Chain A
């Protein structure tokens, strides 16, 4: 009995001691200990200890769900709302997720966003499109693959390239240490944000200090491919004032120092490229240079290894009287150098862009009034080394909006002013007459725009039903046209778990300086095949590309830790524009005995026999920015799943299926048009008005000596002679029994040999005779204007007569657009087995695509890219990490004629105080 009593007393004492120990050591308890506590134990604790427990618990799971699955977003309605209630297709990428993912820069971080296609061009440089509509028009300059229909902003300040359209991502002055979140709106949103929000909006929101303590965010990493990068920001609130200063730097190398040369269809060493004696694979190309021989390789590239070399610095000052009255003033500078796909039309696929810019941005809020005024001024050299591409730019934006709130009714009128200035004169050399002629603009260009908007947002039925109507009227100074993008939205929130929404909206692109005011003459003599000159003209009267979109969305939250979102979209985009030939002049000889420049744009010159289209040599082609008939009709759907399985395991997956049909598509490009113009000019010259549809006004004869000889000077004649020489030799060898392939290869080796020189001398003699004989080459100048519809009829007639072959390229048809992958998506898994350790794995996939530019078609194979970052918090929130981008080192090119990709492996640290 005594033993039992002693035993009971001992057990009671131990239990009591353990209980006492728990109370005494609340600060030492783990989250698991707290979770395991009973109601009785918790209820008996003093409230001070309960509060201490909440500190140990940190962020509650409820809050974790809200933070991860229902983030606040402002870009969808220009005011804060939960993303679950957002009336548009929106995604918020938080700072924490960006850092956890290991993305190296903002562009790469966008791989975490549903509906965005991110393709790497060179290491750290990306092509980014929302939902697609890329590479339209195709068969044209590579510059038209740039995305000029997505509005990218920093704190609602537009940062797109006002000269060509599109976004130079490397020129953004901010980096991760600055960013609070990135908000992405998919779909047409010009009614809310103005021009260029056609396929969507990317709004980068920077941090605002929220503590009287100094807050420091820093990130640094380095690895292979010459990669080292870092960003640091320091901020603090001091009473009602606050400040934040930041800086960032990034350097990454390409995976090779060679450059892809189109004519050679291969990567070439830069020394070979500048060697004037280098033999191209195609002998017909051997007589022109990759680029202007007056420039050295160093003029074009500081070096050919660097992919990205950029820096930025920012200062932000804040004053917050209260929630209703607050102001911020930001300023910063950036400088960047990247090697990426060229905005010009050189024989290499990659050229260098250099940017610098300084900005100031004022944002003020006084009650319902929101004011924003900003200016960006800097210099863009979008093809380093090529005169004419370096332009000073200044962009000014002033906006004012007011939020009227009448219960559940919100009315938001707004007024907007923008002034864009571009000037290339400071970087041009004057001609002998003292005029500027070597630039794209040769002038100081100004484009102003005024806009007014009204947005009405009404909630009814206990705030479950929401109706939104938005309309904007925008007038650009380039023409009398007024653009009226609109937005109509209806959403119904059944409860916290189900939300449906529908959107009808339209959005337009804005006029860019090059599209509107180009005045550029490209003298190709001795550099490129015919024509000798090409002149580019802007067009103030063209319509800007406009999208009309319908979208249906359904968000479901089957459990508090899961959100699934479906969005189905259908859109039609029309009034695409591009540079197309408008008219040309051609030299035509009427007896066609000697030479026929039948493939002028690729420089093939060969002799021909009668009957034939009369030989013609294109002299000058005038190109003009024009609207094209093609309509892009896209139908697609995106599904997005976010699942916070536990506080240690977060899973995301998303994918977009889409199909784009091009209606009224015609299969011609600048080269085919110039060829056809040349052919028809010759037909016109030889047959007068014999072909229906070609007016006599298009044809006139000039005396040979006075007209042609002056223009067909040494460079042009030498090109013709070299081409004819090749063809004569090839013909002789084929007569001797060689195959064409063998003959071409043989001739390619013959330049400079005795045989070559003899034949070349004969050709030269023919040309000399032609100079004397008004009946030789050429004897007339014909002027030809381009009209696709008329060309279709004319070429059909000529084909019927057996004069030409015609494949119906001017006939409108409907085709499937293959440049946008039919499926693209990604996933991420963030696993935190212990509080200090984070493993973030992410992957991206896209299906096959075919790009088409004037350089041909490029097949991009399906690709899956895997990334992983493992970080360990060594002290508080400060972590060391290892990071693998393209972890499996998949080499497949992601963008046409740009670099292969490689794995990039880095180590670094994340700081957070």
Chain B
């Protein structure tokens, strides 16, 4: 019985570690986006702010990746966004899948504000976001909406556009 319990506990612990690893890779992509994007001059001073809408395990992963790192001279700060009205002050807004119903409203609020909106649900790039995580043949990838990036006042470098699926 003890062995069974031990096995059970071990499996759950292992499972927890694996979950963290998944979030880690999404956070890694978001961090890497900072190196391939161009923000307006007005946002090239002060802290580089990454916001996550609502509570999500990815917040801690992002903090781990960005600790002691910068975007140019800007120190990276990761925060949880409590209200959609706060979105324009961030450089990157990540909308977890469970909060996807708010994407339209967020997109409206960040027009020409220099905000990269990143989503994690099928079809979101076509709908409102600048970059959306997708699975391409079972592999983690992303799609980019140049139209939405332009509307939100950010620009993607050519190397990023060549890696993601660009949609009209």
Contacts and interface: CB of A to CB of B under 8 A. Distances in A.
A47 to B, nearest CB: 4
A59 B138 contact: yes
A646 interface: yes
A645 B28 CA distance: 26
A645 B10 CA distance: 10
A61 B26 CA distance: 13
Nearest to A58: B138
A48 B69 CA distance: 20
Interface string B139-162: 111000000000000000001100
B19 interface: yes
A645 B101 contact: no
B28 A57 contact: no
A462 B101 CA distance: 9
Nearest to A463: B101
A785 interface: no
Interface in A41-71: 42-43, 47-48, 50-51, 53-55, 57-63
A54 B138 CA distance: 9
Contacts of A787: none
A61 B28 contact: no
B141 A54 contact: yes
Interface string A428-471: 00000000000000000000000000000000001100000000
18 contacts: A42-B24, A42-B65, A43-B28, A47-B29, A48-B163, A50-B29, A55-B139, A57-B25, A57-B139, A60-B22, A60-B25, A60-B140, A61-B19, A61-B22, A62-B19, A560-B15, A560-B19, A647-B18
B108 interface: no
Interface of B: 11-12, 14-15, 18-19, 21-22, 24-25, 28-29, 31-32, 35-36, 64-65, 69, 98, 101, 135, 138-141, 159-160, 163
Contacts of B163: 47-48, 51
Given A39-B64, A42-B28, A43-B31, A61 B18 contact: yes
A2 interface: no
A121 B24 CA distance: 52
Contact of A54 (B11, B12, B65, B139): B139
B15 A561 contact: yes
Contacts of B24: 39, 42
B12 A559 contact: yes
A649 B8 CA distance: 12
Interface in A552-573: 559-561
Contact of B32 (A50, A61, A63): A50
Given A59-B139, A559-B15, 10 more contacts: A35-B21, A39-B24, A47-B32, A48-B163, A51-B141, A60-B22, A60-B140, A61-B19, A646-B11, A646-B15
A62 B139 contact: no
A63 B15 contact: no
Closest 3 CB pairs of A and B: A54-B140, A47-B32, A62-B22
B138 A50 contact: no
A50 B142 CA distance: 12
Contacts of B140: 51, 54, 57, 60
A39 B19 contact: no
Contacts of B141: 51, 54
B32 A645 contact: no
Given A47-B35, A60-B25, A559-B12, A39 B65 contact: yes
A59 B137 CA distance: 9
Contacts of B28: 42-43, 50
B91 to A, nearest CB: 17
A50 B133 CA distance: 14
A496 interface: yes
A123 to B, nearest CB: 37
B72 to A, nearest CB: 16
Interface string A574-611: 00000000000000000000000000000000000000
**What is the predominant secondary structure among interface residues of chain B facing chain A?**
helix
A644 B18 CA distance: 12
A833 to B, nearest CB: 15
Given A559-B15, A561-B15, A54 B25 contact: yes
A55 B137 CA distance: 9
Contact of B18 (A42, A43, A646): A646
Contacts of A42: 24, 28, 65
Interface in A620-676: 644-647, 649
Contacts of A62: 19, 22
Contacts of B64: 39
A156 B80 CA distance: 45
Contacts of B29: 47, 50
- Most chain-B Cβ atoms within 10 A of its Cβ — which of A559, A645, A647? A645
A58 B19 contact: no
Nearest to A560: B19
A178 to B, nearest CB: 21
B5 to A, nearest CB: 14
A58 B137 CA distance: 9
B160 A645 contact: no
A53 B22 CA distance: 12
A58 B139 contact: yes
A44 to B, nearest CB: 10
A288 B60 CA distance: 84
Nearest to B120: A62
Nearest to B14: A646
Contacts of A47: 29, 32, 35-36, 159-160, 163
B108 to A, nearest CB: 17
Contacts of A50: 25, 28-29, 32
A483 to B, nearest CB: 39
Contacts of A51: 140-141, 163
B65 A63 contact: no
Nearest to B123: A323
A504 to B, nearest CB: 29
Contacts of A48: 163
A60 B20 CA distance: 11
Given A50-B28, A54-B141, A43 B12 contact: no
A48 B160 CA distance: 9
Contacts of A649: 11
Contacts of A55: 139
A61 B21 contact: yes
Contacts of A54: 25, 139-141
Contacts of B98: 496
A42 B25 CA distance: 9
Contacts of B14: 646
Contacts of B69: 43
B124 to A, nearest CB: 14
A737 to B, nearest CB: 69
A461 to B, nearest CB: 13
Nearest to B98: A496
A57 B159 CA distance: 22
Contacts of B32: 47, 50
Nearest to A36: B21
A42 B139 CA distance: 17
B65 A43 contact: yes
Nearest to B11: A645
A498 to B, nearest CB: 14
Interface in A9-53: 35, 39, 42-43, 47-48, 50-51, 53
A43 B31 CA distance: 8
Contacts of B138: 58-59, 63
A188 B137 CA distance: 37
A560 B21 CA distance: 14
Nearest to A55: B139
Contacts of A53: 25
Nearest to A35: B21
Nearest to A48: B163
A174 to B, nearest CB: 25
Contacts of B11: 645-646, 649
Contacts of B21: 35, 61
Contacts of A462: 101
Nearest to B67: A39
